[in-house]
Amino acid sequence: MTERIVLAYSGGLDTSVAIGWIGEATGAEVIAVAVDVGQGGESLEDIRQRALACGAVEAYVADARDEFANEYAMPTLKANALYQGHYPLVSAISRPVIVKHLVKAAREFGATTVAHGCTGKGNDQVRFEVGIQTLGPDLKCIAPVRDLALTRDKAIAFAEAKGLPIETTKKNPYSIDQNVWGRAVETGYLEDIWNAPTKDIYDYTATPEFPPAPDEVIISFLQGVPVAIDGVKVSPLQAIQELNRRAGAQGVGRIDVVEDRLVGIKSREIYEAPGAMALITAHKHLEDITIEREQARFKANVSQRWAELVYDGQWFSPLKRSLDAFIEDTQQYVSGDIRMTLHGGQAIVNGRRSETSLYDFDLATYDTGDTFDQSQAKGFIELWGMSSKVASQRDQRASGL
């Protein structure tokens, strides 16, 4: 039986050429796998037909938009996950769901190898291959660009020679990856980190310099998940899409950052994530009134480690699974409404309410009706500072003061 290789297929030049390139290099049959995670553009059926026209023996396509929103974006939201404090893991969280479908297709079609289009310099090669090794330990991995010398100029020449139904002349200077959670842009003139992004970089967001009138929105959460916007029930996917539209119109969610790649390279990235950043902002403010202080402090550390693990391709790792359990427990009382104003590139929270809030007006107020017993503060301060006071006295004795 001829060996079969499953290929993560985007429908673009490189992965279209990779179908024939892999076949000629290995003698294997190629099954193209396309997964819709809300990246927009062509229909899955058009992509499937192109894969078959480019030589794939089978084409597996999956509408994974709701799956991606429910099982990957929502855990990211619950974690308030921002890699290095900036990046909402746009690409990093899409790779595990794609991996899941790659492994599923490999089982369905009897493939022994999984292929992806990553280079040897980026993070995605790690995310794909570690995920594949975890879900399908018996499967092998190859990367045509990295392992089979498929450069862009060779891809164009191959496509023209074979008459493949793919655009080969348009040269976009940027590398772009996008899904419903956001959009990532890199390379080209952006590699000079002194160069400012130009307007043509952006697609999900309008320029914030000349915004429309402020847009006030109320986001309702149930146990950390958005369930309504302005009183209208929504699914997680619909919540992201609606805030992509409304926050994007106000220029919210533009991120320009130099980040530390897993392979040790610093890389300049431009991100657009209007829905993600608006939701994370709202969610964090709701947590501020519903999560107990020490739990919240510890969760901040957990969230940072969670983001690092996911960025580094460890979505399916035991530690990530354990951190998921902690984060999920913290969301028990994260229910309520957040009111925020979207305007001029900012998402500013100006109202909070929750039936499970820890905010006690009678304790917090300085007006008549204050129930806080201030007489207890003096003794508390004395005990709270006792260890530092005793240590200071020791230090002064030791120094002869």
Residue ranges at the known binding site for L-citrulline = 87, 123, 127, 175, 259, 271
Annotated binding site: 8-16, 87, 117, 119, 123-124, 127, 175, 259, 271
Residues 101/31, Cβ–Cβ less than 8 Å: no
Residue by residue, DSSP assigns 228-247 as: EETTEE--HHHHHHHHHHHH
Say which of 146, 147, 175, 339 is annotated catalytic: 175
**Euclidean distance between CA atoms 212 and 235, whole angstroms:** 27
Taking a C-beta distance cutoff of 8 angstroms, is the pair 223, 291 a contact? no
Sign of the Cα torsion 40, 42, 44, 48 reads: negative
Provide the token pair at 117.
Answer: 């289009």
Binding positions for ATP are 8-16, 117
Q: Is the alpha carbon torsion for 153, 9, 109, 96 positive or negative?
A: positive
Say whether 175 is catalytic.
yes
| Annotation: binding site for L-aspartate | 119, 123-124
The SS3 call for residue 87 is strand
Tokens for 97?
């769901």
Q: Give residue 84's Cα distance to chain centre.
A: 13
Tell me whether residue 124 is one of the annotated catalytic residues.
Answer: yes
State how beta strands 140-142 and 254-260 pair: unpaired
Nearest to 116 by CA among 127, 2, 107, 287: 127
4, 95, 183, 254: which one is catalytic? 95
From the list 14, 50, 65, 335, the catalytic residue is 14
Does the annotation mark 14 as catalytic?
yes
Catalytic option among 4, 94, 124, 246: 124
Q: Is 94 a catalytic residue?
A: no
Q: Collect all residues with Cβ–Cβ distance below 8 Å to 269 and sequence separation of at least 6.
A: 87, 184, 185, 186, 255, 256, 257, 258, 259
**Active site amino acids:** 14, 95, 124, 175
